[in-house]
Amino acid sequence: MNLARIAAKRLLGAIPSLMGVVVVTFLLSHALPGDPAVLFAGPAANADSVAQVRAHLGLDRSLLAQFLSYVGDMAHGNLGQSLTTGQPVLADLVQRLPASLELTAAAILFAVAVAVPLGVLAATREGSLADHLCRSTVTVAAAFPTFFVALLLVYVFYYLLRIAPEPLGRLNDVYFEAPPALTGFYLIDAAVAGEWTTFRGALSQMALPAVSLGLFALAPIARITRASLLTALGSDFVRTARACGLTRRKVLVTYAMRNAALPVVNVLGMVFSFVLGANVLIEDVFGWPGVGAYAVKAVIQSDYVAVQGFILMMATLYILLNLLVDLLSIAADPRVRMEG
């Protein structure tokens, strides 16, 4: 099978998950206790006005009819109106999504860049100081409450050392202007436009949130890298390669690491789930203007339409990321392709 066909097949395979997600978000909002009509009508409403609101919102129809119109609206890109911002939820989310994506991508890059070398170092020198360091880092990092670590970093780097900028958003708008929107990623946009001072400004704002989010993702990646590389290094083909007199480098990079790559790629699926969740907490701490902070505000103000849109968007994003992990794992290990 060629890659495009596999990709298409996996994409089709994601459809049941997507449908499940739509059903769950619908059920969460409609089949549960609490009456949205009372909420929408406000505290001063009487029975009549509540009934009016209910009819207006279509809440007096059967659950199935409501579901169908919900799906229909969604197909037209209508996720409803946010109660708090008064804007269509989709527009709100799309406007804030690049900020969240940029932060998440930076965090994952940081985590992979630290965790993989750490895991490799630990596995090639099993029992050494580096190995112990790796294992203790992994154990400690797995216990980090992201939001607490984020606050600690802010305290140390902003309050004590005065190196980091104030933890408020993506760019200090007193000194900087947002770069011309191209991708919505400030770092990329600023680099494309050649505005290097803005680039530095955005980078310094992003460093702390990305690191605190990345620390959280570091533990599983380092642990799996170490474990799977150890397995590969102990295997017959590595022994054979060594016996044939290949260089250490060749044995490690070409033989062992290539074979150890698959579990590492697969664990990324789980890491994405953690990071997308923890993103919410980090955005809350750093005043990051992304979808997570938007959702927290919406949850606190019982703006369920907005929360629903957010959950739907995150689940879709997560399914797409898992698809990416699938394709990466095919690239990492051709044997996966055979299983179809």
Partner 1 sequence: MAPIAPLSAARPLAPPAARSFASLRAVRYALAENRLTLVAGVLFCLLLLCAVLGGVAAPYNPLATDTTARLQPPTTAHLFGTDALGRDILSRVMVAARLDLGMAVSAVAISFVIGTALGAMAGYTGGVVDAVFGRVMDTIMAFPLFVLAMGIVAALGNSVLNIILATAVINLPFYGRFARAEVNVRRDLAYVEAARMGGNGAVRILSGHIVRNILPTMAVQASLNMGWAILNAAGLSFIGLGVRPPTPEWGIMVSEGASYIISGEWWTFVFPGAALMLAVFCFNLLGDGLRDVLDPRRRT
Binding site for partner 1 (CB under 8 A): 16-18, 20-21, 23-25, 28-29, 32-34, 139-140, 142-148, 151-152, 154-155, 158-159, 166, 223, 226-227, 272-274, 276-278, 280-281, 284-285, 295-296, 298-300, 302, 304, 307-308, 310-311, 314-315, 318-319
Convert 236-264 to b/e letters by CB count within 10 Å (16 or more is b).
Answer: eebeebeeeeeeeeebbeebbbebbbbbb
Q: How far is the CB of 195 from partner 1 (least distance, A)?
A: 29
Q: How far is the CB of 250 from partner 1 (least distance, A)?
A: 27
Q: How far is the CB of 196 from partner 1 (least distance, A)?
A: 29
The pair of three-digit structure tokens given for residue 295, joined into one six-digit string = 């959702």
The pair of three-digit structure tokens given for residue 243, joined into one six-digit string = 């016996």
The gap from C-alpha 178 to its chain's centroid, in whole angstroms, comes to 23
Nearer to partner 1, 187 or 256 (CB): 256
Q: How far is the CB of 271 from partner 1 (least distance, A)?
A: 11
Instruction: Please enumerate, as own/partner, the contacts of 116-122 that have beta carbons within 8 Å and a separation of 24 or more.
Output: 116/221, 116/222, 116/225, 116/264, 118/218, 118/222, 118/225, 118/226, 119/221, 119/222, 119/223, 119/224, 119/225, 119/226, 119/229, 119/264, 120/225, 120/226, 120/229, 120/252, 120/257, 122/222, 122/226
Nearer to partner 1, 41 or 307 (CB): 307
The gap from C-alpha 161 to its chain's centroid, in whole angstroms, comes to 30
Nearer to partner 1, 179 or 309 (CB): 309
Nearer to partner 1, 187 or 291 (CB): 291
Q: How far is the CB of 22 from partner 1 (least distance, A)?
A: 10
Nearer to partner 1, 17 or 235 (CB): 17
Q: How far is the CB of 301 from partner 1 (least distance, A)?
A: 10
Nearer to partner 1, 41 or 285 (CB): 285
327, 333, 335, 336: CA torsion to nearest 10: -30
Q: How far is the CB of 193 from partner 1 (least distance, A)?
A: 32
Nearer to partner 1, 187 or 217 (CB): 217
Give CA–CA dist 268/246, Å, rounded. Answer: 31
